[in-house]
Chain A
Amino acid sequence: MDPATEAVAAAQDLKSAATSLQSSGISNPTVLDTRGYYNFGARYGATLAQASDDQNMGSLLPTYSPSQLAANGITPTTTVGQWRQSIIAKIGNAANQPVLSG
């Protein structure tokens, strides 16, 4: 796929994720919220989007076993704030930008 087509496809994926999160009651999904959607699915993505920074990932992904969490690079005691910061470190300021506007 050429870069321009990839960019259009990525934008469409972002919009789909944000729309799904909105249907789960997340009013204004950010790029960071959509990352939760891609990593953990629609249901858990919406759960993470409404969680406090000091909550543990093991508390918010209650059906995940410790080995499943490890496969995602986290432990049961990794906080949501730590996970969010790891994503922000990768994608920078854009993480907090809302995906949908208007």
Chain B
Amino acid sequence: MRRFTIYVCAAVLIITCAQRMKAEGLHAVRPLAGYACMMLNLTDAQMRDNSLVVPVYAGPSTASGRVGNASAIVIARSPLHVVNGFAEMLFPNGATVWIDAKVLRPYHSESNPNAHCTPSLMSNGKPGLG
């Protein structure tokens, strides 16, 4: 009987942990107005090449300072806001950053032509892809 009780407690604990892990998943809270998903204008091989980086800057010039690298899909201001050849976008940490406008192209999925991508405020309070 004691062993059975231990098994039941263990099962309850496992189920509770599993539900908690599932509940912690990231989800979209609301769409971000004024933004659209765009993707880097790279081939599939280039997209997966870690040695090739696409920089993003603090302002619309390289002199403004590089703040990081772009991911495959970016959240761009819509309509596109281009200054000095750089397009305004939202970084995943919430900062407004700028990227060479020539490296962007409209969002399109190879495997699913009906795919959608909605820039969203996420459940962690950061911008994300819903």
Residues of A participating in the B interface, judged by any CB pair closer than 8 Å: 20, 23-27, 40-44, 46-47, 49-56, 58-66, 68-69, 76-77, 81, 84-85, 88, 93, 95-96
Contacts and interface: CB of A to CB of B under 8 A. Distances in A.
B68 A25 contact: yes
Given A26-B92, A27-B126, A81-B25, A62 B110 contact: yes
Interface residues of B, number: 46
A64 B73 contact: no
Contact of A43 (B71, B91, B111, B115): B71
Contacts of B47: 41, 43-44, 63
Contacts, number: 137
Interface of B: 17, 21-22, 24-28, 39-40, 42-44, 47-50, 53-54, 68-73, 91-93, 95, 97, 107-112, 115-117, 120, 122, 126-130
Contacts of A63: 39, 42-44, 47, 72, 110
